[in-house]
Amino acid sequence: MKGMLIKDFRLLKNQGKTLVLMLLVIAVFMNLMTDVGPSFIVGYITIIFSMFTVSTISYDEFDNCYLFLMTLPVTRKEYVNEKYLFTLLSIIFAWCVGLVLGTVLLVIQPSAKIDAVEWIETCLGYVFTAWIFVSILLPLRLKFESEKARYANLIVIAGVIIAAFLAASAIDYLPGEIVGTGKQWFSGLSSAGILGMFAGITAAVVIISYLCSQHIMAKKEF
Amino acid sequence: MLEINGLVKHYGDFTLNCTMKVESGRITGLVGENGAGKSTTFKAALGLITYDAGNITLMGKTPAELMKTEKEKIGVTLAESGFSGYLKVKDVVPVLEAMYPAFDRTKFLDLCRKFGVPQDKYIKEFSTGMKAKLKVLAAITHGADFLLMDEPTTGLDVMAREGILNLFREYMEEDENRSILISSHISSDLESLCDDIYMIHKGGIVFHEDTDVLRNKYGLIKADEDQYRKLDKEYMLRVRRESFGYSCLTDQKQYYLENYPDVVVERGTLDEVITMIIGGEKL
For residues B7 and B74, membership in a common domain is answered with yes
Q: Quick one: pLDDT at residue A205?
A: 92
Q: Is residue B66 located within the same domain as residue B206?
A: yes
Q: What pLDDT is attached to residue A220?
A: 84
**Residue B198 sits in the same domain as residue B228:** no
Look at residues B159, B187, B213 and tell me which one is the last residue of a structural domain.
Answer: B213
Query: Which residue of chain A comes nearest to B83, CA vs CA?
Result: A65
Which strand (E) or helix (H) includes residue B62?
Answer: none
- Cβ count near A112 (within 10 Å): 11
B221-230's contacts with Cβ under 8 Å and 24+ in sequence apart are B221/B246, B221/B247, B221/B248, B221/B249, B221/B250, B221/B256, B221/B260, B221/B263, B221/B264, B221/B265, B222/B246, B222/B247, B222/B248, B222/B263, B222/B264, B222/B265, B222/B266, B223/B248, B223/B263, B223/B264, B227/B260, B227/B262, B227/B263, B230/B260
Burial of A20 (0-12, 13-18, 19+ CB in 10 A): middle
Q: Express each pLDDT in B172-215 by its tens digit.
A: 988 888 999 999 877 888 888 899 999 998 888 988 989 888 88
Interface check for A171 against chain B (CB to CB < 8 A): the answer is no
Residues B81, B66: one domain? yes
Shortest CA distance from B43: residue in chain A: A222
- Chain A residues closer than 8 Å to B72 by CB: 73
**Considering CB atoms only, which of A3, A11, A75 is closest to B86?**
A11
Q: How far is B250 from chain A (nearest CA, A)?
A: 40
Chain B residues with CB under 8 Å of A15 CB are 86
Between CA A210 and CA A50 the distance in angstroms is 16
B61 touches chain A (CB under 8 A): no
Tell me: do B36 and B88 sit in the same domain: yes
When CB atoms are compared, the residue of B78, B85, B91 closest to A67 is B78
- What does the pLDDT look like over B9-32, one tens digit per residue? 888 888 899 999 999 999 999 988
Contact A10 B95 (CB under 8 A): yes
In angstroms, rounded to a whole number, what is the distance separating the alpha carbons of residues B181 and B194?
9
Question: Are residues B118 and B52 part of one domain?
Answer: yes
Residues B142 and B169 in one domain: yes
Q: Using the predicted structure, report yes or no on whether residue B278 has a pLDDT greater than 80.
A: yes
Beta-carbon separation of A62 and B68 below 8 A: no
Same domain membership, residue B231 and residue B183: no
- Interatomic CA distance for residues A133 and A54, integer angstroms: 10
> From first to last of its 222 residues, what are the pLDDT tens digits of chain A?
888 999 888 888 877 778 888 888 888 887 777 777 788 888 888 888 888 888 888 888 777 788 888 899 988 899 999 999 999 888 998 889 888 888 888 887 766 666 777 788 888 888 898 889 889 888 988 888 767 777 777 787 788 788 878 877 777 777 777 777 777 777 777 777 888 888 899 999 999 999 999 999 888 887
pLDDT at B103: 93
Domain finish residue from B213, B234, B254: B213
- CATH number for the domain including B113? 3.40.50.300
Q: Which of B172, B198, B213 is the last residue of a domain?
A: B213
My answer on whether B153 and B182 are in the same domain is yes
d(CA B42, CA B49): 9
Position with higher pLDDT, B158 vs B112: B112
CB contact under 8 A, A15 and B86: yes
What is the total count of domains within chain B? 2
Domain chopping of chain A, boundaries:
2-219
C-alpha B253/C-alpha B250 separation (Å) is: 6
Taking one residue from A and the other from B, the number of pairs with CB-CB distance under 8 angstroms is 93
B194 and B229 in a common domain? no
Whether B145 and B225 map to the same domain: the answer is no
Closest CA to B151 of B102, B91, B200: B200
Helices A116-143 and A146-173 pack at an angle, to 10 degrees, of: 120
With contacts defined as CB-CB under 8 Å, which chain B residues touch A73? 68-69, 71-72, 99-100
Cα dihedral A77, A81, A84, A86 in deg (nearest 10) = -130
Residue-range definition of the domain harbouring residue B225: 218-279
A-proximal residues of B, 105-124, CB under 8 Å: 122, 124
pLDDT > 80? residue B71 = yes
* B59 lies within 8 A of chain A by CB: no
Per-residue pLDDT of B207-241, as tens digits, reads 898 988 888 888 888 888 888 888 888 888 889 88
Q: Are residues B186 and B224 in the same domain?
A: no
